[in-house]
Structure 1
Amino acid sequence: MTAEYAVIVKTRTRLEHLIDRFNTRRQGKFYIERAGGNFSDYEAEHDTYYSSLETVQTSLERVIKTKTIERSFLPTYLFSERDIVVVVGQDGLVANTAKYVGGLPIIGVNPDAGRYDGVLLPFHPNNFLKVLEVVAAGRLYSFKDVTMAEAKLNDGQRLIAFNDLFIGAASHVSARYEISQGSVREQHSSSGIIVSTGAGSTGWLSSIINMTAGVTSKFYGGTALAPRRFDWSEDVLVYIVREPFISKTSQASLIAGEITNTNPLIVESHMPTNGVIFSDGIEGDFLKFNAGASAAIGLSAGKARLVMPQIYLQENRRAHFGREKKS
């Protein structure tokens, strides 16, 4: 199927947020410089971003109809099956976008390679157009499917995560809940639960593993732990309970494990207020999770599809043919 629209997803720069806060650029500059900051860095980042965005928009307009939307409109925007999504921003913008576009192809464009690592942004403003033309024409293209996590509440609400879910209290207090997986069930008082996808395994999950390795090595003479990393498309999630507390009414044996299609995690809130489930580190993207709410944590039925450079397709073909030859 040929594409009809390229939907460009953009974000707001730090400078724009600063102007919103202080009303004018001059007042924002005064605040930053008085605090010892470098306001010119805000300006340089802003100018580079919009120069890249203009390059992307101008290039696309030559080959396909385009629409541009801001990140804040993603939850309400209605995507068509004939759309291609072009994300211009940091890696987090790709993660946030993927939750709302279903299986539409996503082309991640790094607007500032000198500033952003771009793990999810394999393309640049001057080299993305060729692959977009391939995708738009319905021809074979290189892609990577990414497994996402999903929280389903007993009232029907659901929340998808590209990198990770957090389940716990909104404030810095203990989260209280009942957790169960398979035949194991127990009461918890903890700092919350992190559920990570393969794509997110190098983020929040890795920091928890780093902390665990450091504590074990420092006080118990343990060896360093290898980070738990798995392929982005693998049908598995990993969960870890943060700082579980053992008391007369709370246990701590069910504190880490894997979630699969046949082995979900069930969490029942015992928090009268301030219980939340949020995704990908965005606290504004959340579900209320107070007493009476129960959440089934598992794999999302759909996967995100990230368009990759042609070399990725060639490597996959070599691996595929190699397996066939061996078999």
Structure 2
Amino acid sequence: MLRRRAVVVHRRTELDELLDRHGTRGQAEFFLRSRGRTLDDVQDRHDGLAAARDAVAAALPADWARADVERADLPRFLVAPEDVVVVVGQDGLVANVAKYLHGQPVVGVDPEPGVNAGVLVRHSVTAATALLRGLDGPVPDGAAAPDRAAMLPLDALTTVRADLDDGQHLTALNEVFVGHPSHQSARYTLRCAAGTERQSSSGLIVATGTGATGWWASLAHDRGGRAAPRRDEDRLGWFVREAWPSPATGARLTEGTVEAGDDVEVTVASDGLVVFGDGMEDDRLVARWGQRVTVRRGEEPLRLVRP
């Protein structure tokens, strides 16, 4: 059996970003005071997040390898099949990690209870450290060491996948966006189970049940409420944002579902549209005039460890 490795994923804190931007603590403090804030509050959050990461690291089994990865480095980091991914941060950070995984278990750790919704970061720091220490339990004399990481209780959360007709693709946990890079009018032909229509809109959102608490929730609220898929359901939901009816474009097909085995397709009729998942606009695909973008259920779910 290959040696296990824990991949601990985190984001830079606000203090990190302030020091990068302003150079010194004094300049950062002056900037915060001018906006009615204090450096102490920012420092406290920074220290709390650092303490959470330290606690998680200290609880890892002694014979495991460890890698620390910052969110911005995820596109350049290779997660191995035997890795266990530990995300310390917000729910959205788990979603950011999902597109780079292929079945590896994920432990979501909430370093700020009451601040995060806790939909994906389901474990408190205390609960996470207890779980991780349990992966390094005693072995009876003469017995083979069990692979406790392989026995973690998991929920399989549905993902969504977008494929370009040139072979490029991406996967997301919450939703995929197809539209103009500046969110202006995007022109395309939409094909779905209900038919085909030329459209001009501010983009298409295709969401999973997990994403139904995010962008989907806002769109559904504005349209009087729509039933969302469950997080483990194969079905996806989609909305067209601000479809514009004109002599050449329609606004009839603006929402629907993508059932198991089905898809929704966009044929680009603009200079270029972008495709990205879970709000990570920097890690995106570009679809040129005439290209097709097909969105369907992802092939692999996110395997999230239950509390």
| Matched letter for residue 21 of structure 1 | R
Moved more, 294-303 or 178-187: 178-187
2:257 is the counterpart of 1:246: no
2:172 is the counterpart of 1:161: yes
Offset at residue 56 of structure 1 (A):
0.9
2:188 matched to which residue of 1?
177
CA distance in 2, matches of 1:166, 1:139: 34
Is the Cα contact below 8 Å between 1:3 and 1:138 reproduced in 2? no
2:152 is the counterpart of 1:141: yes
Question: CA offsets, 1:240-291, max 9 Å, x none?
Answer: 0011111100011111111134321110111114x21111122212111231
Say how many residue pairs are matched.
296
Residue identity over aligned pairs, in percent, reads 35
- Residue of 154, 157, 163 corresponding to 1:152: 163
Question: CA offsets, 1:180-213, max 9 Å, x none?
Answer: 1247111001111111101001111111111122
1:271 matched to which residue of 2?
270
What aligned pairs does 1:79-228 form with structure 2 within 5 A after superposition?
A: 79-132=79-132, 133-134=134-135, 136-138=147-149, 140-182=151-193, 184-213=195-224, 225=225, 227-228=226-227
Give TM-score scaled by structure 2 length.
Answer: 0.90
Question: Secondary structure at 1:47's aligned position in 2?
Answer: helix
| Matched letter for residue 291 of structure 1 | W
2:75 is the counterpart of 1:75: yes
| Matched letter for residue 36 of structure 1 | G
2:284 is the counterpart of 1:286: yes
2:66 matched to which residue of 1?
66
Is the Cα contact below 8 Å between 2:189 and 2:198 reproduced in 1? yes
1:324 matched to which residue of 2?
none
Offset at residue 64 of structure 1 (A):
2.8
Question: Secondary structure at 1:285's aligned position in 2?
Answer: coil
Moved more, 127-136 or 198-207: 127-136
CA distance in 2, matches of 1:50, 1:228: 39
CA distance in 1, matches of 2:149, 2:41: 41
Offset at residue 160 of structure 1 (A):
0.9
2:141 matched to which residue of 1?
none
CA distance in 2, matches of 1:108, 1:178: 39
Question: Secondary structure at 2:50's aligned position in 1?
Answer: helix
CA distance in 2, matches of 1:160, 1:140: 26
CA distance in 1, matches of 2:159, 2:3: 25
CA distance in 1, matches of 2:130, 2:215: 34
1:39 matched to which residue of 2?
39
Moved more, 190-199 or 167-176: 167-176
Question: CA offsets, 1:113-135, max 9 Å, x none?
Answer: 14322221111222223433449
Is the Cα contact below 8 Å between 1:206 and 1:228 reproduced in 2? no
CA distance in 1, matches of 2:176, 2:124: 29
Question: Secondary structure at 1:103's aligned position in 2?
Answer: coil
Is the Cα contact below 8 Å between 1:277 and 1:289 reproduced in 2? yes
Question: Secondary structure at 1:27's aligned position in 2?
Answer: helix
CA distance in 1, matches of 2:288, 2:32: 39
CA distance in 2, matches of 1:152, 1:245: 25
Q: Which runs of 5+ in 2 are unaligned?
A: 136-145
Question: CA offsets, 1:146-203, max 9 Å, x none?
Answer: 1111110011111111101111111142111111124711100111111110100111
Q: Which runs of 5+ in 1 are unaligned?
A: 214-224, 310-327
Is the Cα contact below 8 Å between 2:3 and 2:65 reproduced in 1? no
Is the Cα contact below 8 Å between 1:84 and 1:136 reproduced in 2? no
Q: Which runs of 4+ in 1 moved over 6 A?
A: none
* RMSD (Å) for aligned C-alpha atoms: 1.9
